[in-house]
Amino acid sequence: MFKLNEIKELIKLVDQTSVHELEIESEGTRLSIKKPNAAEIVNHYQAAPQAYMPAQQVMVPPVVQPSTENQTPAAAPVQEAVEDSNSSLHKIVSPMVGTFYRSPSPEAGPFVSPGDKVSDKTTVCIIEAMKLMNELEAEITGEIVEVLAQNGQLVEFGQPLFLVKPE
| Model confidence pLDDT, tens digit, residues 62-95 | 555 555 455 444 444 444 444 445 678 999 999 9
pLDDT at residue 158, rounded to an integer: 93
Q: Where do the structural domains in the chain lie, given as residue ranges?
A: 4-35, 40-49+86-166
Q: What's the pTM?
A: 0.50
- Is 5 a residue whose pLDDT tops 90? no
| Model confidence pLDDT, tens digit, residues 150-166 | 999 999 999 999 999 99
- Is 52 a residue whose pLDDT tops 70? no
Report the alpha-carbon distance of residue 66 to residue 138 in Å, rounded: 31
Report the alpha-carbon distance of residue 102 to residue 111 in Å, rounded: 6
User: pLDDT category, 50, cuts 50, 70, 90?
Assistant: very low
First CA to last CA across the chain, in angstroms? 68
Give 83's contacts (C-beta < 8 A, 6+ positions apart): none
Q: What DSSP character marks residue 113?
A: -
| Model confidence pLDDT, tens digit, residues 86-143 | 678 999 999 999 999 999 999 999 999 999 999 999 999 999 998 899 999 998 999 9
Mean pLDDT for the chain overall: 76
Topology adopted by domain 40-49+86-166:
OB fold (Dihydrolipoamide Acetyltransferase, E2P) (2.40.50)
